[in-house]
Amino acid sequence: MSNRAGRRAVAAQRRSLLRKAPEKLRCLACERVGQQMTKEHIWPRWIIERANAGGDQFKWIGGSRATPNKAVVPLCYDCNQRLGTELEGPVSEAFRDVEAGHGLSGRQCALLVKWLWKFEGLFWCWEHPHGRYSDLWSVTERTTQDAAIESIADGLSLGIGLIHANEREDVWPVGVDTPLGEQGVCVAGVFSRVAIAVSYSDLTGVFVGGLDFQPLSRDFIRSDEKSFFPATRFPTSGAAIDFMKTAGPIAADLHERAMLSARTHRFIHPAPRRRVELPH
Ligand SMILES: [Zn+2]
């Protein structure tokens, strides 16, 4: 195909998508349109492999079910690359370290927080195809840069409880246990041998007995020294899931109320980001 024919084909495809599914033209993570698009697995391949969960079914956006290998969202090529090298790669190392009992550095704790926020962000944007994720940061900015986490690090904590054994041979859980809301800070889930939650430090009470919490700070999240050594808290993955399924929604609700009374970072607007609006 000549360049010209190629361009015509791309333009025709865009026009068709604009009519049928405009949301597929916008990158979910940076909200730009007109970029080269890719499909990104919402559950990254490395965690699916780590949990050996590829063939299993998981609850997916909107209550439908899909195998993790098929659960994909539209991301631009740039975001796909950046999220892969700056987030998923280092987070997979953090998982290896913490599951092996080698502990986490402050920088690794921050990466895990951003990683949880990535799920929240992509879910939120998927559920709100015409909404703005935040006037301050796109999902990519919030999860690959430090400005967002630094702005609230002093009041934030990361909680982890490790799991001793799984019930189902070789298959570990992968899933988020906090419902989607507007608060965007508290995210909890169980991934492989790790039950994990990010929470405001004064709202961690609901996780007591399941997770050990490490308070974060602007200095701490720049540290490369291993300093957080979470304990094994759950005898089985089932026990971890039961605990997180109860605690996660309560914690999210507490954050939702805190946001309504205090206006957290997500809805403070010093300089709204601009973007191209699609017809809908
Ligand atoms: Zn993008």
Q: Which residues of the chain have pLDDT under 70?
A: 1-2, 10, 13-23, 54-66, 169, 262-274, 280
- From ligand 1's centre to the CA of 27, what distance in Å? 5
Rounded CA separation 156/213 (Å)? 10
- From ligand 1's centre to the CA of 122, what distance in Å? 11
73 within 8 A of 122, measured Cβ to Cβ: yes
- From ligand 1's centre to the CA of 39, what distance in Å? 11
Please, what is the angle between helix 89-99 and helix 106-127, to 10°? 120
- Rounded to a whole number of angstroms, the CA Rg of the chain reads 19
- From ligand 1's centre to the CA of 88, what distance in Å? 16
What pLDDT score was predicted for residue 263?
57
Helix (H, G, I), strand (E, B) or coil at 268: coil
- From ligand 1's centre to the CA of 78, what distance in Å? 6
One-letter amino acid at 75 equals L
> Residue 82: which of 13, 150, 125, 142 has the closest Cα?
142
What pLDDT score was predicted for residue 269?
46
- From ligand 1's centre to the CA of 79, what distance in Å? 4
Rounded CA separation 52/256 (Å)? 34
What pLDDT score was predicted for residue 47?
87
Residue 12: alpha-carbon gap to chain centroid: 33
- From ligand 1's centre to the CA of 29, what distance in Å? 5
Rounded CA separation 104/194 (Å)? 13
